Structure 1
């Protein structure tokens, strides 16, 4: 790396715009500063060399320079926002509605949204936020933030750490706020310094050269922002790890005991009862809401549940020994929490059959007197049932959710919402089976030669509760990251880094000042400090330059 020696004797690294010691512009690097000798100085990082503007030789240099660009970072964020927007066009796979007939993503998106839904699925947008390319995009934003921060933090830290009260006359005269006073007494200088101290300026005096500074910490606000954003991005990536984040769904029928997904088989849930409450349609208080919605309004969804923990797994294949952990109700907006897991009431299904009772009677019996009855559990029907009179029923086909498509029977789901059976009925002491098709409102004898018929005597129905299972250990990371980000915003928004240089010039002084923002406030500070003295008020040279440019344009 080349070195550039200033006339003051200080050796500056290549790429330095203003001498780190005296502040005089380095003529060899005026192209980096973008200003000629007649214009105001660019005080960003006090002219200290940035790595991205110094090295451009190796592939590492080029990669560093690419990610250190603010434009690249902004474009990465814009692309991430557009991609995130695409993921909201249709619901993500985990949020496929429970009422969908087929929740298989390959079928659901085309059935519900047509051609656009099919394209949406084939492009992989149904799992956008966990896709590899989206994760890479988030990681690239994080890399850009880190490199941008380091590329600017290091030169700024070096510049602020090495500040000196004595500055070159060119450095002072080319500041935005500048004035020169021919004669200043010691009493006036002491009065000036005392007033600056009253305004909480930190004074450094080096052989009569004064540097008054306050609110330096505000310069680190953007970097604190970046730290907060990086933590938030890391938290977003950590949500992809099952150990730190779980978001699953489970359907539990009334009276059913089921393992809770995502708990590695350690926890079970039992649905004791599902409660659905509606607002009274005759209550005048809710008439407007019901008329607006056009249907009855639900008051409460509630699952009375028991959570069990596996105490002893026992022999492989045997039922595990369970220990009750908690018994409580799960309601909308009132989840159940246990051992880091949270269960939310997310949905329900009604009118699902739990069991059906069939009777057998003779075809020629007009009174349909029962020869025997059998009750079938519709969630797990057995293959064969035997009646006391010797009649044997064999379940040949079972359609939990029966429909007839193109003349062929099929089930649109595995849930018993419209159960139908094909039975093989074996009369007593007979190996010849009679075939019957029985369902809701259906009792078909295909050949019309059966001696026996089956009829539905009774049935029971139940609710099915839909619960979201969630565990999120990344939330504290998001909270910490957001808090740090807000601290950075406040730090950089409500305070300004203000510096005032006073250097002797014969019997008088040269006065210059700089701030990263709120120049009006800095001028007010100086005005208060020089009150009752002969020190000249600073002139805003940028306004003078603007007036000159306007005059040139008019000419």
Structure 2
């Protein structure tokens, strides 16, 4: 005989109960020798997590079935989420700087610590996703550990045959009465919409049983909610990215087969006519930001237009589940430099070149067979050990190494172009000089790129959670037991919440049955066994 068989509990009625049972499944007699109130949370049924652990699976089950463990994991996830929202996540930073430079440069030592600890990508970090999975596992095991015994207990209406079951309820009284009193009590509870079941000398009145399933429906909804969020990890199911577009620029939309072109950023300002009171008008107050977009799809080597339209703040451009939000704007930004190529020997200008500071061309045609090539580019020039390098990708101090070739210089000539420094100071003997003529200014739009096919599933799971909350908060499972003794009637009642309402309902039924009882004598607040 196995140890589990030895742990089974035999009741005086002869029924053998599983280990951990506190109330006999057959007769309802308490299986302990205590005198406190019965613990009716799971109707005295055995729970696996309460049985002594013997195998590694038992220990794992007990760990995840613990509500305290679940609360700690949820608390850790909440605290981490709060920290993760103190600074923008990497995909939401409105800067082209790498994360290792952006956070320390923008937020100082706190940004450095924030980046080093990995909070800049918190919601996609392995440990945060693992924590969410553990919370999901805990929800599943907690639900199974409690729902299975509850289902077994509620599957059959328990009409106890032991008077000790009634005497150890929180609401209990014993009254003298005959058959007429017995019938009047039945009629009184039936009028209050209780369902009645009778077995010999005992009766059960019950209503609101569905409320017991509210927390478990809520758990199912939460599990489905976690799974819905996990769907976002499937490639193509979820996309949250950011892209900057200059006016007139066409770029690939990250993570999609599409290309998007900006036809111009429009900034609308409030005018005096927009204010009922002209004195409240403030100049240069922005009314709206809008970028006109054209969406393309590549077919072979050609881009084919498939949609066009504006994107505004809170009014995204949408195409088949792809959303482009107006999330950033930079008006009148320095985009390039216009330079005259001057030949110092002839004293003539050969032509003009334009150097893009964000995407420099490899070669520019000056005219007359002469070309200028960009050999190297440093957006923010710095020197270290006599070697040039760029501190960031932002053109804060742009510098170029250019090479000019043509009929007059077949061997080519290299020269530096550094913002704010005359090229003659760098290489005085150079034949060609590059003179700054003008700046190229342009507007730039920041677009948030969103695809989220998990939204319908998130809404469905949230709806299930709401149903569970409604059942759990606004409905009560109420039961009243009657048992005939020789010269008296035992009356006991139990509810999973709102004891005041049940006590009031019990008193009304007693009055309808012409039984006068002091309300103070009904409720017993002994310690739960």
Number of the residue aligned with 2:310 = 329
Structure 1 residue 105 and structure 2 residue 110: aligned? no
What's the offset of the Cα at 1:227? 1.0
Against the structure 1 CA distance between its residues 404 and 288, is the aligned structure 2 distance closer, same or farther, given a 3 Å change threshold?
farther
CA-CA distance at 1:437 after TM superposition = 4.2
1:305 aligns with one of 293, 301, 308: 293
Where does residue 484 of structure 2 map in the other structure?
504
Aligned-partner Cα distance in 1 for 2:432–2:49: 90
Asked if the contact 2:266–2:291 (Cα under 8 Å) also holds between the matched residues in 1, the reply is: yes
Distance in 2, Cα, partners of 1:4 & 1:512: 26
In the comparison of the two structures, how many residue pairs are matched? Answer: 518
Aligned partners of 1:357 and 1:459 also within 8 Å = yes
Q: Which moved more, 1:203-212 or 1:511-520?
A: 203-212
Is 1:182 matched with 2:171? no
The answer for the alignment partner of 1:95 in structure 2 is: 92
1:258 is matched with 251
1:290-321 deviations in Å (ceiling 9; x for gaps): 6xxxx9543222111111123x32xxxxxx23
Partners of 1:95 and 1:109 in 2: CA distance: 12
SS in 2 for 1:219: helix
Looking at structure 1, the residues matched to 209 and 338 of structure 2 have their Cα atoms a distance apart, in angstroms, of 82
- Call closer, same or farther: CA 1:44–1:425 in 2, change over 3 Å: closer
Cα distance, 1:268–1:169 mapped onto 2, change above 3 Å: same
Q: Structure 1 381/306 Cα, relative in aligned 2: closer, same or farther at 3 Å? A: same
Q: Structure 1 stretch 478-487 or stretch 138-147: which is displaced more?
A: 478-487
2:479 corresponds to 1:488? no
Q: Distance in 2 between matches of 1:540 and 1:12?
A: 36
> 1:496 touches 1:515 (CA, 8 Å); kept in 2?
yes
What is the correspondence of 1:87-236 to structure 2 with a 5 Å cutoff? 87-98=84-95, 103-186=97-180, 188-236=181-229
> Offset of 1:416 from its aligned partner?
6.0
Question: The residue matched to 2:235 in structure 1 has which SS?
Answer: coil
Note closer, same or farther for the CA distance 1:203–1:420 as it changes in structure 2 (3 Å cut): same
TM-score by length of 2: 0.88
Cα pair distance change 1:411/1:539, threshold 3 Å = same
- Correspondence for 1:7: 12
Distance 1:62 1:540 in 2: 45
Retained in 2: the 8 A contact 1:177–1:539? no
- Cα distance in 2 between the residues matched to 1:81 and 1:287: 47
Q: Between 528-537 and 45-54, report the one with greater CA deviation.
A: 528-537
Aligned to 1:63: 60
Unaligned runs of 5+ in 1: 31-35, 314-319, 548-555
Unpaired segments ≥5 residues, structure 2: none
> Quick one: structure 1 residues 247 and 509, their matched pair in 2 at CA, closer, same or farther if it must change by over 3 Å?
same
Name the CA distance, whole Å, in 2 between partners of 1:104 and 1:306. 28
The residue number in structure 2 matching 1:526 is: 506
State the Cα distance separating 1:201 from its structure 2 match: 0.4
Counterpart contact for 2:94–2:446, Cα < 8 Å: no
Alignment of 1:383-402 (within 5 A): 383=363, 385-388=365-368, 392-399=371-378, 401-402=379-380
Which of 22, 33, 36 aligns to 1:17? It is 22
Aligned CA distance change for structure 1 residues 167 and 357 (closer, same or farther; 3 Å): same
SS of alignment partner, residue 129 of structure 2: helix
- Tell me the SS of whatever aligns to 1:7: coil
CA offset at residue 88 of structure 1?
2.5
Shift of 1:417: 7.1
Indicate yes or no: 2:323 matched with 1:348: no
Q: How far apart, CA to CA, are the structure 2 residues paired with 1:375 and 1:426?
A: 17
Task: Say if 1:352 and 1:415, in contact at 8 Å, map to a contact too.
Answer: no
Question: 1:181 deviation in Å?
Answer: 2.0
CA offset at residue 277 of structure 1? 2.6
**Corresponding residue SS for 2:43:** helix
3-state SS of the aligned residue for 1:194? helix
Distance 1:123 1:463 in 2: 35
Rounded Cα–Cα distance in structure 1 between residues aligned with 2:70 and 2:373: 68
On the 8 A contact 2:22/2:30 being kept in 1, the answer is yes
Which TM-score applies when normalising by structure 1?
0.84
